[in-house]
Amino acid sequence: MKLEQFKVDVPQAALDDLHERLARARFPEQIPDAAWDYGTELEYLRDFVAYWRDEYDWRATEQRLNNFEQLTTEIDGANVHFIHARSPEPDALPIVLTHGWPGSVVEFLDCIGPLSDPVAHGGDAADAFHVVVPSLPGYAFSGPTRERGWHPGRVGKAWAELMAGLGYSRYVAQGGDWGSFVTTQLALADPDHCAGVHVNMLAPIPMTEDHTPEEDDCLAGMASYNEHDSGYFKEQSTKPQTIGYALDDSPVGLAAWIVEKFRTWSDCEGDVERSFTKDQLIDNLMLYWLTTTAHSAARMYYEFDKGLKGGSLDLFSKLTQPVGYARYPKEIMRTSRRWAEAQHQISHFADMPRGGHFAAFEVPDLFIPDVREWARTRR
Amino acid sequence: MANLEVVPFRIEVRDAILNDLHERLDRTRFPNQIEGIEWGQGAELQFLSELVGYWRAKYDWRATEARLNAFDQVLTEIDGQRIHAIHARSPEPDALPLLLVHGWPGSVMEFLDVIGPLTDPVVHGGEARDAFHVIAPSLPGFAWSGPTHELGWHPRRIAGAFHQLMGALGYERYGAQGGDWGSVITSNVADLHADAVVGLHLNFVVVSRPKGDDVPPLTAEEEAGLAALSEWRASGAGYQEIQGTKPQTLGYALEDSPVGLCAWIVEKFDAWGDGSLAINKTFTFDRLLDNITTYWVTGTATSSARIYWEMRQARRDAIPQARVEVPTGVANYPAEVTKMPRAWVEHRYNVTHWVDQARGGHFAAMEVPDLFVPDVRTFFRTVR
């Protein structure tokens, strides 16, 4: 595998262009008192965009990313960018952390240090990981995909190659959102080397005839999502190119499209900044904007749908590896312990007290110890 | 009913808005596209780049504006909402008033080529007895009737407002014609004001399967039509899902990016026309851009999308409760995605005229005015 060193180095012209676009943003009006009922709220977004233009400091984030070793390689015809944080501990366990949509490697920035170098972060050397954090094909610094078929199954196979290329013959994997699908697909594709997986999202699949109240609650959450919150999914799975033109041409449009998800899917009680700072939200947006990948990121939905219908994506084969599952209270796609156990060999089940869909990003203080605890059983 | 103040209106888009549009088009950031996918994942890159290039360099909004301003237009406020309408009076004294209602993602621009023949048939090779006074309003939230400022502008409320508009213009007895949302709205007008509406003509109709056992079995053709509709709902209705749930979230991008708006709208003209845009040239660049520029210069992509949200809230309250008894003409254009079995339609409408057209699709008045006009004339002869 041919690896190339990578540094983030955004030309000043791209930042100037962004600032000009933000300065001339054309906002729609909003129904008075609509709040977030029709989608992203106008006054919130105006303030957010003003902060983005006037105060946000991309170069600080760029530096933060560049403090990690980053590499690119080509796998199965796609460019793959990844952070590679090797632990100073010789017995560290390799782990691949996979983000989803509308996230990026930025979600894991606060976790990489504690996971790779626990001693320097008040932890135990026995909990050390070599951390690999790739950008999904089509996302951010992996760049747009150029051919069809990049669904989570194909990404899982690519990650198996990536880990082999890095010389990791025994590793574990973690993910949420698309990352949870990629992680289980990786386990399926690479049973000899992938020694266990941990996910923070599992779909509620009714595996029993009776339902407990908790299971009804999980199903009701999914039903409500299907009814009220999945329009983006239905558009991105059918016409990702159509929506892509607007998102790749309008930073304010991209912000509205993405920030709404961070608000809806986090444990923020309606105030997204209880869970994420503006800087964090913008860091993530910048990875989409500066790489013009909103359209290619959206394709994951299209490919997932095609992969399922065409049979090239297998979600139902049983994994041979044990599965760790952390259930965060504000994750929409949650299942019960017994349904999880009917699907997978669950070796670790953690009910988390706080947090939502973007667990590593929102509650690293819970995410890190939970991943450590699960991994102790896989070392 | 209170007397509405109706004032004359002309479209005069400020130079600054057109200059800003040109500057935005100059700095368009295009995405990449998967090799060989064509229109498979949405608006095709090559076609869209050409259309945007034409929009920037050749398209002449002022010519379209002049064309529109050649018709009398009015502005009024109904139920708290600004309403714009083309009001094209016929020179014929016995002309029948005709309420002509567009849908999404269309506008009154769809009717530019049919207003002349409908209002003044004699100078367009027709007969004086087929003359109409044409009233073509912009839907609340759309174009010069936008934006909306409060909740609740679903199709039945719009129908009530349009009936008031007809009254304010002095029309107590009139015909109604519609496609897309215009069909839902005119059906409501006919249901709410059966004493005023002499005939209803639809080039799009959606009904559900009648309850009970006396429904005739479907023909193979009807089965195929319903199967195609079901496939379309799975693969082509994403815009409805997002506009029906989070129109505001989507709106920021469409309001800020002309190429984004262009892609969002033009995909529908490709999918719903009789043939593809790129190959069959079903609509010229100029006609496509007349409609797209109308959304852009009025800043109404967001508020127009809200009609889907309102429909989801209102559901059955936004459609006729009983069978529409006003005589109804239905024109089926071959490329229309929504094809309903005649028996189902007859269960909900008093169908007196049913025509299978040879060419054309969803935007019939715009795509095949040569078929649309004679069919509208033929139907309304039976109810004048």
Per-residue model confidence as pLDDT tens for chain B (384 residues)? 557 899 999 999 999 999 999 999 999 999 999 999 999 999 999 999 999 999 999 999 999 999 999 999 999 999 999 999 999 999 999 999 999 999 999 999 999 999 999 999 999 999 999 999 999 999 999 999 999 999 999 999 999 999 999 999 999 999 999 999 999 999 999 999 999 999 999 999 999 999 988 889 999 999 999 999 999 999 999 999 999 999 999 999 999 999 999 999 999 999 999 998 988 889 999 999 999 999 999 999 999 999 999 999 999 999 998 999 999 999 999 999 999 999 999 999 999 999 999 999 999 999 999 999 999 999 999 999
Assigned superfamily of A4-376: Alpha/Beta hydrolase fold, catalytic domain (3.40.50.1820)
CB neighbours of A199 closer than 8 A, spacing ≥ 6?
A174, A175, A176, A179, A180, A183, A184, A323, A324, A325, A326
Q: What is the arrangement of strands in the sheet containing B96-101, beginning at the earlier edge strand? A: B7-8, B73-78, B81-88, B132-137, B96-101, B174-178, B197-202, B324-332, B349-356
**What is the DSSP secondary-structure string of B3-68?**
PPP-EE------HHHHHHHHHHHHT-------TT-TTTTSS-HHHHHHHHHHHHHT--HHHHHHHH
Q: Which of A56, A171, A301, A328 is catalytic?
A: A301
- Nearest residue to B115 (alpha-carbon basis) of B136, B142, B91, B130: B136
State the nearest Cα–Cα gap between A240 and chain B, in angstroms: 6
Q: Taking CB atoms and an 8 Å limit, are A296 and B32 in contact across chains? A: yes
Given this model, what pLDDT does residue B2 score? Answer: 56
Residue A245 falls in the annotated catalytic set: no
Interface test with A, best of B233, B248, B255, B264 (most A CBs within 10 A): B248
Residue A78 pairs in a beta bridge with A75
3-state DSSP assignment of residue B134: strand
Give the count of alpha carbons within 13 A of A342, CB side only: 12
Given this model, what pLDDT does residue B247 score? Answer: 97
Global ipTM = 0.94
Nearest to B149 among A32, A38, A145 (CB): A32
Nearest to B147 among A29, A253, A260 (CB): A29
Q: Taking CB atoms and an 8 Å limit, are A253 and B45 in contact across chains? A: no
Q: Taking CB atoms and an 8 Å limit, are A246 and B236 in contact across chains? A: no
Q: Which B residues in the span 346-375 are in contact with A, Cβ-Cβ below 8 Å?
A: none
Q: What tokens does B328 get?
A: 């109804």
**Do A116 and A87 touch, CB atoms closer than 8 A?**
yes
Instruction: Return the residue of B nearest to A143 by Cα.
Output: B32
Using a CB–CB cutoff of 8 Å, tell me whether A13 touches chain B.
Answer: no
CB neighbours of B237 closer than 8 A, spacing ≥ 6?
A234, A238
**Residues of A whose CB is below 8 A from B43:** 239, 241-242, 245
Quote the CA–CA distance of B185 and B159 in Å, as a whole number: 5
Quote the CA–CA distance of B3 and A47 in Å, as a whole number: 43
Q: Taking CB atoms and an 8 Å limit, are A231 and B245 in contact across chains? A: yes
User: From the CB of residue B16, how many other CB atoms can be counted at a distance below 10 Å?
Assistant: 8
Categorise residue B180: left if φ over 0, alpha if ψ from -120 to 50, beta otherwise.
left
Quote the CA–CA distance of A100 and A107 in Å, as a whole number: 9
Q: Which amino acid is at A128?
A: A
Using a CB–CB cutoff of 8 Å, tell me whether B299 touches chain A.
Answer: yes
Q: Which A residues in the span 209-228 are in contact with B, Cβ-Cβ below 8 Å?
A: 227-228
Residue with tokens 């180095």: A9
Q: Taking CB atoms and an 8 Å limit, are B264 and A42 in contact across chains? A: no
Using a CB–CB cutoff of 8 Å, tell me whether A267 touches chain B.
Answer: no
Q: What tokens does A301 get?
A: 């939905």
Kind of pairing between the strands at A4-5 and A78-85: unpaired
DSSP state of B160: H
Q: Dump pLDDT digits (tens) for B225-281.
A: 999 999 999 999 999 999 999 999 999 999 999 999 999 999 999 999 999 898 888
Q: Which A residues in the span 110-149 are in contact with B, Cβ-Cβ below 8 Å?
A: 144-148
Nearest to B31 among A232, A257, A295 (CB): A295
Q: Where are the domains of chain A?
A: 4-376
Question: According to the 3-state scheme, what is the secondary structure of chain A?
Answer: CCCEECCCCCCHHHHHHHHHHHHCCCCCCCCCCCCCCCCCCHHHHHHHHHHHHHCCCHHHHHHHHHCCCEEEEEECCEEEEEEEECCCCCCCEEEEEECCCCCCHHHHHHHHHHHHCHHHHCCCHHHCEEEEEECCCCCHHHCCCCCCCCCHHHHHHHHHHHHHHCCCCCEEEEECCHHHHHHHHHHHHCCCCEEEEEECCCCCCCCCCCCCHHHHHHHHHHHHHHHHHCHHHHHHHHCHHHHHHHHHHCHHHHHHHHHHHHHHCCCCCCCHHHCCCHHHHHHHHHHHHCCCCHHHHHHHHHHHHHHHHHCCCCCCCCCCCCEEEEECCCCCCCCCHHHHHHHCCEEEEEECCCCCCCHHHHCHHHHHHHHHHHHHCCC
pLDDT in 10s for each residue of chain A, 379 residues: 999 999 999 999 999 999 999 999 999 999 988 999 999 999 999 999 999 999 999 999 999 999 999 999 999 999 999 999 999 999 999 999 999 999 999 999 999 999 999 999 999 999 999 999 999 999 999 999 999 999 999 999 999 999 999 999 999 999 999 999 999 999 999 999 999 999 999 999 999 999 999 999 999 999 999 999 999 999 999 999 999 999 999 999 999 999 999 999 999 999 999 999 999 999 999 999 999 999 999 999 999 999 999 999 999 999 999 999 999 999 999 999 999 999 999 999 999 999 999 999 999 999 999 999 999 999 9
**Residues of B whose CB is below 8 A from A144:** 31-32
Nearest to A230 among B28, B241, B299 (CB): B241
CATH number 3.40.50.1820 is the correct assignment for the domain at B7-27+42-381: yes
State the nearest Cα–Cα gap between A174 and chain B, in angstroms: 29
- Percentage of the residues of chain B whose pLDDT score is greater than 90: 96
- Nearest residue to A151 (alpha-carbon basis) of A178, A176, A132, A133: A178
